[in-house]
Amino acid sequence: MFTLLNLYQGSADFENAQYYAKEHTRVTEEVYKKEHKCYAYALFLEVGVMRYFPNLDHTETLHCINEAIQISVRIGQNKKLDPFLARLYEEKGHVLRMLGGDVAQLNDYNVQALQSFNSAFAIMCKTQEQTRLPMVERMITELSVNPLITEKVEERGKFDTECIATDQEAELFADKPATEEDPESAADREDEATALMLFGLGAIAAAAGIYAYAKWKR
């Protein structure tokens, strides 16, 4: 499902990509259950496809990305910050921007979008994940053009804390470097890296199989 999702999305066939994104999420839930990083990642991929459909009810899209953030925060308690959490906050920011519409308008969606991009930026800086930093900075600048939005963010708080507890908020967004990773967390991350590597190799093999089968059918 992961491979087919990527093949259809890569060829801009978003109808089929959406179908396989949902199937990928369903199968991932069956295999890993909901409290697993792989399920949060599946929701993240599904949201990435849903954004190509402007006429969808994107309050549902927002619900999906919020669920992914909640899962990621829960499984990341007492561990070093994960760059994936920054990508989730960035994706949430993009969904909120779709819902917010014209940046010249003051509405809750645009205010929350700026909070989400601020959260993504903070986590990217702490985890030294620079790949998406220019995009996030650009979105922060775009939203900050409207002083009413920035004033409302200053009033409510700089970061998106809708899905996290107060003590976690202090840890995630404190003005200090991320804490050193404990040995158990390091072992968990090594296991995750191994699993993701094997998953990637499986996906490549599946894609090669599909290609070979298609050639044979011709």
Give a yes or no: residue 40 inside a domain. Answer: yes
Is the domain of 12 the same as that of 92?
no
Is the domain of 93 the same as that of 166?
yes
Instruction: Give the domain extent around 96.
Output: 81-177
Of 64-68, 182-186, 203-207, least confident by mean pLDDT is: 182-186
pLDDT confidence of residue 179: 45
Amino acid at 2: F
pLDDT band at 210 (very low <50, low <70, confident <90, very high): low
Within 8 A by CB and 6+ apart from 141, the residues are none
| 114 CB neighbour count, 10 Å cutoff | 28
Give a yes or no: residue 21 inside a domain. Answer: yes
Helix ranges (DSSP H) in the chain: 2-10, 14-32, 37-50, 58-75, 83-100, 108-127, 133-144, 147-156, 166-173, 183-217
Within 8 A by CB and 6+ apart from 35, the residues are 71, 74, 75
Give a yes or no: residue 168 inside a domain. Answer: yes
Within 8 A by CB and 6+ apart from 100, the residues are 107, 109, 110, 113
Indicate the pTM of the whole model: 0.78
